[in-house]
Amino acid sequence: MNKVLITPKSFHKYKEEPLRMLEAEGYEVILNTSGKTLTEEEIIETARNGVKGIIVGVDPISAEVLDACTDLQAVSKYGVGMDNIDLEHAKARDIRVMNAVGTNSISVAELAIGLMFESSRLLARHIETVKGSGWDRVMGTELTGKHLAVIGGGQIGKEVAKRARGLQMKVTLYDPYFRDAEFLGEYGVERSEDFISLASEADVMTLHLPATDQTRQMMNAEVFSSMKSSAILINTARGELVDEEALYEALVKGEIAVAAQDVYSKEPPEEGDPLVALPNFILTPHLGAFTQEAVERMAITSTRNLLSMLKEKVNA
């Protein structure tokens, strides 16, 4: 029997319908029940023979994995970002790849907005103080009227921009590939073609980009030194976009005020990580797409995409 490997840890929460869909087409399903992200070696060990398709989360689908899994025909991303998949090698091996476009955009956008509120009002710190029988307060700032730089104009970036305009923020988008002038006009969003200039003007900067050779560590010492000392950095995209050593220095020196991330270069971070220990650094455990609505949409859509690709391979 042909097999399908499903790696995302949260998939099991809405697995009934996807499993029914896959089994109806004659596939045996292998679920990741380890409770953790799989390594290359673990994927190869499981999918080396007989696995026709993989539904993958953030687990690495490298050239080595693609070469070792000799029966693999299709990879379906449970989510949007595909930087954990070697797309060029998949194409060379004639392995189809699709992502679940639009399934988690709202959830991630809402988290980005939530991190803006957390960064400007330090809600968690105040809640912890009160629960410890304290009543001390740290003065916050309003988001209304502040200048938000949205870096990346894909679906998530657009959803963030729309919500920020509802908060009466000034929104400027930076994305060299953005071509949707209608969106800019409809929501009153401006566009900049100068990244450093925008970084120097923004009160809040939020990242919504994949990790590529062009974007890795785009937030570096040069950029941090150009930003306002009161600026807030939000990153719900990929940890690799930020030079974490440079961010540590920027936060310690007061080059920027707060950084709030849902992603990190190593997840979870190592114990004693100096950046994570800073009081003006906020880190959540990659929960951007971890909502009931997004998980259900990703499970169904990634399964449909996989079945569609496998059928195309059969009919090719």
Token code pair at residue 285: 């455990």
pLDDT, tens digit only, all 316 positions of the chain: 799 999 999 998 999 999 999 999 999 999 999 999 999 999 999 999 999 999 999 999 999 999 999 999 999 999 998 999 999 999 999 999 999 999 999 999 999 999 999 999 999 999 999 999 999 999 999 999 999 999 999 999 999 999 999 999 999 999 999 999 999 999 999 999 999 999 999 999 999 999 999 999 999 999 999 999 999 999 999 999 999 999 999 999 999 999 999 999 999 999 999 999 999 999 999 999 999 999 999 999 999 999 999 999 878 6
Q: What is the DSSP string of 166-224?
A: HTT-EEEEE-TT---HHHHHHHT-EEES-HHHHHHH-SEEEE-----TTTTT-B-HHHH
Pick from 209, 216, 213, 211: which is nearest to 234 by CA?
A: 209
Q: Is the dihedral of CA 221, 202, 142, 159 positive or negative?
A: negative
CB 264 within 8 A of CB 236: no
Is residue 238 within 8 A of residue 210, CB to CB? The reply is yes
Burial class (CB in 10 A: 0-12, 13-18, 19+), 10: middle
- Which residues make Cβ contacts (< 8 Å) with residue 131, sequence separation at least 6? none
* Residue 314 confidence (pLDDT): 77
105-283 under CATH 3.40.50.720, yes or no: yes
Common-topology check for domains 3-103+292-315 and 105-283: yes
Q: Break the chain into its structural domains and give their ranges.
A: 3-103+292-315, 105-283
User: In this structure, which topology does domain 3-103+292-315 adopt according to CATH?
Assistant: Rossmann fold (3.40.50)
Measure CA of the first residue to CA of the last residue in the chain; give whole Å.
Answer: 21
Which residues are designated catalytic? 238, 267, 286
